[in-house]
Amino acid sequence: CEPSNYFHEDFNLSEETVKEEINRQEERDFPNAFYGLITKQLLKDPVVIPDGDSYERSAIEARDDFLAEQVYENRALASIIEERIQVSENSVRASIRSRRKSFMQLMENSSVPSTSYRPLHNSFYCPITFFLMHEPVIDPEGNTFERAAIITWIRANKTSPLTRTALTEEDLYPNNAITSLMKIEKGRGEDSIHPCVRKWKDEDPPVIEDMETGEGKTSLPTTHAQIEERRRAQIQDELSIGGLAALIFSLIALSLGLRLSIVFPILALCGICTSS
């Protein structure tokens, strides 16, 4: 079945609902996807059930509607919630850590943002393609992938690309919470939308490759060597972007009269430049 058949109506957001959600976020700290559908409280141990919705684990266990193996730990959502809480509590160290990689991604379309915005969490990126996910799905071990990428991988390998344990297409659930959060990011105005999202929203989702006929070929990785090649290419891109970012920051800082003895420690703290 297509993942969209599983989507809970609360997460299949219309354009009007997206706008309402953005307005609500301006009035409170967190989006709806961070709250349990049963408990209505901030999720502490989110799990996903077969329809793709996320709940508090204790609430699902109390209802006894599903077997233990039917409930998947939503690691991506838990990680995003944890980071957002840390940032909201003005944890400077956590904020810097979360921005180190995201800062590089902000610059990938070669534009300097004119306004500040929250950096995207790494959990929005597929560990196979290293791109933002259009159709997030989750496996029994709690890992979230781009649907086309993981299905193409499974058809070629019959295992998880991360742990090498046996994995089938039927094991996958849609991760509605991540889909919801990405829709919110996509629905932001041009003055606040993340540069990566601006680029991503105009792209077509990757297509599942038919390993026998070759139809739908989109060069999705099917070997660990190909994933490693993509990872290295991403690192190289980040280093190149990081060098450009450091140069831009240094020029701006110097134009404002800051001494290099002040600029370099700031760059190092943000992870923008490294010692040579």
* Tens of pLDDT, residues 250-265: 566 556 655 545 544 5
Q: Which pLDDT belongs to residue 189?
A: 87
Regarding predicted confidence, which is higher, 64 or 174? 174
**Secondary structure letter of residue 166 according to DSSP:** B
Cα separation of 184 and 178, whole Å? 10
- Which DSSP state fits 133? -
> What pTM, to 2 d.p., does this model score?
0.69
CA distance 138 to 195: 26
189-220 pLDDT tens trace: 888 898 889 999 989 999 997 766 556 566 89
Return d(Cα 242, Cα 262) in angstroms, integer. Answer: 18
What is the mean pLDDT of the segment spanning 30-44? 93
pLDDT, residue 208, reads: 92
The average confidence (pLDDT) of the chain is 77
The proportion of the chain whose per-residue pLDDT surpasses 90, expressed as a percent, equals: 49
Report yes or no: 218 and 205 within 8 Å, Cβ to Cβ. no
Q: Which residues, 6+ apart, have CB-to-CB distance to 110 below 8 Å?
A: none
Question: First-to-last CA distance in the chain?
Answer: 52
Give the number of residues written for the chain: 276
Confidence category of residue 147, pLDDT binned at 50, 70, 90: very high
Once rounded to an integer, what is the mean pLDDT over residues 219-246?
A: 81
How much of the chain exceeds pLDDT 70, in percent? 62
